[in-house]
């Protein structure tokens, strides 16, 4: 079912891809570091037009790497 159960169905219909069981190592930014363009993971880099950081208590440390608090 692509993960996220019934709650994820509308998002998948709009092209959202859910990745489960993948370790996130870093956020990938453009050269000027003013835009996140992807995610470095245990399965390689995934690039996207939009990134949602939904890591629970791990969100803040991940965003801190970009100077966000």
pTM over 0.75: no
Percent residues over pLDDT 70 in the chain: 93
**pLDDT confidence of residue 39:** 94
34 alpha carbon, distance to own chain's centre: 16
pLDDT at 3: 62
Q: Which residue has the tokens 């991940």?
A: 62
pLDDT in tens, 11-59: 888 888 888 889 999 999 999 888 999 999 999 999 999 888 888 998 8
Structure tokens at 37: 């363009």
């Amino acid at each position: 079912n692509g993960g996220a159960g019934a709650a994820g169905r509308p998002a998948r219909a709009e092209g959202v891809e859910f990745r489960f069981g993948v370790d996130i190592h870093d956020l990938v930014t453009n050269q000027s570091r003013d835009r996140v363009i992807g995610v470095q993971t245990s399965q390689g880099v995934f690039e996207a037009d939009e990134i949602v950081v939904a890591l629970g208590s791990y969100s803040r440390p991940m965003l801190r790497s970009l100077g966000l608090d």
